[in-house]
Structure 1
Amino acid sequence: MSDTINRLTNLFEKNRNEANAGPMRKYMKGHFPFLGIKKPLRSQLEKQFFKETGILKEPFQQDFVWDLWEKEEREYQYTALVYLEKSLKKLQKTDLPFMEKLILTKSWWDSVDAIAPKPVGEIAARYPEVITETIDGWAVSDNMWLRRAAILFQLKYKQQTDEELLYRYIVQNSGSKEFFIQKAIGWALREYSKSNPASVKAFIAGERLAPLSVREGSKYLT
């Protein structure tokens, strides 16, 4: 695995751009250092890397993801997230604790918002028992990012959304003063309103939600 990581590291280091790195770090509120590789170029480099290594043809490798997660610059976590997205069909129920570990490590909206609707959403769709076993606990966790993940994991479910579950998680978090929780509630409602606008409209009217949640959740409602 070290050879694989070294290959990506060498590829990224050759394209380090300090002029880009500063503004990218500033955009992320200074939480992470950056190599300064913007997404279009990073996507090209990732495509080259995946082709040369053939890692996408192998079984899902938690160690590869974690090795990238431990690296300093944020681009490595972005590549880990791309790898996860390209490996969704390989994920098993036993990978959910690892997704929780990723959510809790180097936490920020950019990583959590990729993990929750994609890997977590995929695992929960195929192994729905993890909802009561694990995700219900996330929804009332002391950790804000786990609560955000619980609210957002059904984001791509559309008509398959478990409405009762979504609304329960939202009500459990509706009193939160956290921007990222209020925003997640609005985002989840906005997405679900594309499938069931009447239900979302009635829910918003009947609950005491933060103005931000209402504003975001109502964007597609007439």
Structure 2
Amino acid sequence: MLSMTNKVSTTRTADFQLVGDADDQQRLSHYTRSQFTFIGVRAPERRAQAHAMVRDSRQWPVSDVLAGIAELYERSEREYQYVAVDLAIANVQRFDIDDVRTLSHWVTVRPARDTVDLWRRFFGLYVQHHLDEKPIVFALFYKHDNVWMRRIAILLQLPEDYTLDADMLTAAIIYDRATPDPQIQKAIGWALRSYGKYDAAWVRGFLRSHGLSQIASTEAHKHLLDL
């Protein structure tokens, strides 16, 4: 497992620098209520500036990819955390379950919805490529002390349709259905709304059988009203 104390000089990402805009810096900082420091790079421009490095990372040894993710994630400016997850997503098919355990650590580092939902995408993609390992990945997040980790447990199967494990989704929702955190309640509604596109009857039955918050229920019903 990779040490979390990588020195900058040992990573392939060490010389990578984003170039931002002062106006976007203020806008992004305001959007996150000044929680984080920004360079001022919007998502399309960030991806453009990081494109060559992300592309080349597919040829790096996996250990170098993990080291690069760690180095970027430890930088103070928020956009580098986004680039770190971009690196992870670009290499998702190259990782094994031990790498996934290592990467799950970063979910709890300066967590907010922006980074957590990017990580959710990564873990969801990994599960899609390794359906037999879904229970192991789910266990990394289910019943975790950290509420952001549990948000991923609820949303882990979001990209799936008929491969979704309904028992797993049920367990994640039931565990947190009384948690007042709005990010959890919105995640519950989002997960049910998404699955309702493929199995509306199951979602309707779930909603009838389980008392959910107004936030979760409203979110879950959005798609069902169109069916």
Query: Could you state the TM-score of these two structures normalised by the residue count of structure 1?
Result: 0.89
CA RMSD of aligned residues (A): 2.0
> What are the superposed Cα offsets for residues 67-115 of structure 1, whole Å, 9 maximum, x if unpaired?
0000011111111111111111111011122222011111111111121
> What are the superposed Cα offsets for residues 16-74 of structure 1, whole Å, 9 maximum, x if unpaired?
322211110111122211000111211211113345xx222223321100000000111
Aligned counterparts of 2:123 and 2:87: Cα–Cα separation in 1: 11
**Contact 2:189–2:220 (CA under 8 A) maintained in structure 1:** yes
1:169 is aligned to 2:152: no
Matches within 5 A, 1:82-93: 82-93=86-97
Structure-2 residue corresponding to 1:57: 59
Match of 1:108 among 72, 87, 112: 112
Aligned counterparts of 1:137 and 1:89: Cα–Cα separation in 2: 19
1:137 Cα deviation after fit: 5.9
Aligned counterparts of 1:186 and 1:208: Cα–Cα separation in 2: 12
- Going from structure 1 to structure 2, the CA distance change for 1:29 and 1:128 (only over 3 Å counts) comes to farther
Hey, which bits of structure 1, 4+ residues long, moved more than 4 A?
A: none
1:123 Cα deviation after fit: 4.2
Structure-2 residue corresponding to 1:46: 50
1:157 is aligned to 2:160: yes
Ranges in structure 2 where 5+ consecutive residues have no aligned partner: 1-7
Aligned counterparts of 1:16 and 1:137: Cα–Cα separation in 2: 35
**Contact 2:58–2:91 (CA under 8 A) maintained in structure 1:** yes
Kindly provide the amino acid, as one letter, of the partner of residue 56 in structure 1: R
Percent identical pairs in the alignment equals: 25
Kindly provide the amino acid, as one letter, of the partner of residue 71 in structure 1: R
**Contact 2:196–2:203 (CA under 8 A) maintained in structure 1:** yes
1:143 Cα deviation after fit: 1.0
Aligned counterparts of 2:97 and 2:103: Cα–Cα separation in 1: 10
Ranges in structure 1 where 5+ consecutive residues have no aligned partner: none
Structure-2 residue corresponding to 1:5: 13
1:130 Cα deviation after fit: 5.8
Task: State the SS of the aligned residue for 2:211.
Answer: coil
Paired residues in the alignment total 215
1:125 Cα deviation after fit: 5.2
Kindly provide the amino acid, as one letter, of the partner of residue 58 in structure 1: W
- Going from structure 1 to structure 2, the CA distance change for 1:141 and 1:119 (only over 3 Å counts) comes to closer
Query: Could you state the TM-score of these two structures normalised by the residue count of structure 2?
Result: 0.87
1:186 is aligned to 2:189: yes
**Contact 1:183–1:212 (CA under 8 A) maintained in structure 2:** yes
1:7 Cα deviation after fit: 2.8
